[in-house]
Copies of this chain bind each other. A is one copy, B any other.
Amino acid sequence: MNNFDFCNPTRIIFGRETVSQLNDVVPADAKVMILFGGSSAEKTGTLDEVRASLGDRAVSEFGGIEPNPTYETLMKAVELIRSKDIDYLLAVGGGSVIDGTKFVAAAVPYEGEPWDILLTGGQHIKSALPFGTVLTLPATGSEMNSGSVVTRRATNDKLPFMHPLVFPKFSILDPTKVYTLPERQVANGVADAFVHVIEQYLTFPQNAMVQDRLAEGLLQTLVGIGPKILADQKNYDLSANLMWSASVALGGMVGTGVRHDWATHMIGHELTALYNIDHARTLAIVLPSLLNVQRKDKAEKLLQFGERVWNITEGTEEARIDQTIDATRNFFESLGISTRLSGYDLGEEVIDAVVKQLEKHGMVTLGEHGNITPDVSRRILVDAL
């Protein structure tokens, strides 16, 4: 296990009818801006719940943060907040709204061009507006961490940043919000959380027993929930366990003290930026092929993953690794998520375009060993055709 520095100060308020606790956790004298996405927050009644809970606080609203939130949209929020006397943000939505709110929180007091926050991975952030979240979509884990990904539409750049100042002060997780989500988003949420765990876990043996067991436990949980919740979306127990799994998946404990992969995400980001494929679906395209191409480097962990999560214990090592990769692919497919580029009407033309973008963004030594060069990324994409 490597040395580590772990802290996750976000307060999680979890359960039924918890939105009403906003009144207790948002400062009474806060001048609040609610940030949200499309029309669903209004239609489902969540925005009304939020407004009611905030009582007579001064509240502004900024809607229209899109999936894969864009710099262009978020900068409009930044301008608005700077022009008003806002001192507290409240993200109401899923990972895109929360990621966007993190960027806005850091950009408002940022000296210089806020796009530099993305170009420097957040390292020059000195302050940020405080914010909380009301989560409506379990998937990204953004509600319980300090990371964010923002896309610049003008250039098709999709870049991440992290900073301790953008941990949410609190996140309200009401599992009944899952009941009214489109099935597609529930499936995406399961796949997204699954790959978040894999990116931190499926590398090489690092003598991190607790992290491995937690990772395997989350994967087993997601495998158990996956197809069931698509058939029974208003099942509180399934929704609650999905929501908590997705938060814990990226809450820091799975990945502390170990080297991570994240190549699947970096390649996936380019697919989203270029072809607007849902984030989770890009992960389901890339991951099985990445595991196949990297099967030697990842052999020991693939065997452990196969045995502990999929109960694969028979056959040669090569055969067990094949079975493990197949099981992973089949899991995504069982969620209705295609794991091939062809499933999204994409073909060989994708490969050069994605590799070029990876090179542009300096993503030339990806993976836990830094050996996923553009050439290896190319082989992964070929394998995913």
Contact = CB atoms under 8 A, between A and B. Distances in A.
Interface of A: 1-16, 18, 207-210, 212-214, 216-218, 220-221, 224-225, 237, 240-241, 244-245, 248, 253, 256-257
A355 B262 CA distance: 56
A33 to B, nearest CB: 24
Nearest to A1: B240
Contact of A15 (B2, B9, B221, B237): B2
A295 to B, nearest CB: 25
Nearest to A16: B3
Given A221-B210, A224-B209, A244 B1 contact: yes
18 contacts: A1-B240, A1-B241, A1-B244, A3-B15, A3-B16, A3-B18, A4-B14, A5-B11, A5-B13, A5-B14, A6-B14, A7-B11, A207-B240, A209-B224, A209-B241, A209-B245, A212-B217, A214-B217
B6 A12 contact: yes
Contacts of A1: 14-15, 237, 240-241, 244
A384 B195 CA distance: 47
A241 B11 CA distance: 26
Given A1-B240, A5-B11, A210-B218, 16 more contacts: A1-B241, A2-B15, A4-B12, A5-B13, A9-B9, A209-B221, A209-B225, A209-B241, A209-B245, A210-B217, A213-B216, A213-B217, A213-B218, A213-B220, A216-B217, A217-B217
Nearest to A244: B210
Contacts of A225: 209
A225 B209 CA distance: 10
Contact of A208 (B216, B218, B241, B256): B241
Contacts of A5: 11-14
A253 to B, nearest CB: 7
B221 A213 contact: yes
A214 to B, nearest CB: 6
Nearest to A237: B207
Contacts of A256: 14
A170 to B, nearest CB: 8
Contacts of A241: 1, 207-210
A10 B7 contact: yes
Nearest to A3: B15
B2 A6 contact: no
A256 B216 CA distance: 19
A372 to B, nearest CB: 27
A288 B213 CA distance: 25
A250 to B, nearest CB: 13
Nearest to A224: B209
Nearest to A25: B5
A189 B83 CA distance: 57
Nearest to A219: B213
A81 to B, nearest CB: 26
Contacts of A217: 210, 212-214, 216-217
Contacts of A253: 248, 253
Given A3-B16, A253-B253, A245 B210 contact: yes
A183 B7 CA distance: 31
A334 to B, nearest CB: 18
A217 B214 CA distance: 6
